[in-house]
Amino acid sequence: MATPTTLSRDQMVEKLGITSLDYESQQQILENVANAVSTRMWLLISEKLNADDLDKLDALIDDDKNDEVEKFIKSKFPSYKQFAIKTENDVIEELSKNMKLGSIEESKKE
């Protein structure tokens, strides 16, 4: 399931503070961010669904019915788009802060 986004690639690179990295390194980090967003979303979704809904969702996923998975989730989360955007922004903000803290710690070691 694709995650709605409000940020362009360039905006994400800027927000994460990775503009000085080469394109391939940036791309790898952006893929890791996308995976982190997806993982966070699935975790939050699974926390909000009851056991029966989780079983239905698991069956749809196991049967590789991606369109039905998306419809099912949107039926359970009417504000899915806003939820996805907020989750993405939260993850990017957390990673951005962590990356900045990491670079501060590295500069203290030098």
% of the chain beyond a pLDDT of 90? 57
Q: Which domain holds residue 25?
A: 9-109
Q: Is residue 1 part of a domain?
A: no
Q: Is residue 94 part of a domain?
A: yes
3-state secondary structure of 79: coil
Query: What's the pLDDT score for residue 107?
Result: 47
Q: 13-64: per-residue pLDDT in tens?
A: 988 889 999 999 999 999 999 999 999 999 999 999 999 999 999 999 999 9
3-state secondary structure of 77: coil
Domains in the chain, number: 1
pLDDT at 105 over 50: no
Q: Give the pTM.
A: 0.76
| 8 Å CB contact between 88 and 11 | no
Distance from CA of residue 47 to its chain's centroid?
16
Tokens found for residue 57: 């969702």
Residues 6+ apart with CB under 8 A from 88: 3, 4, 5, 6, 7, 37
Q: Is residue 2 part of a domain?
A: no
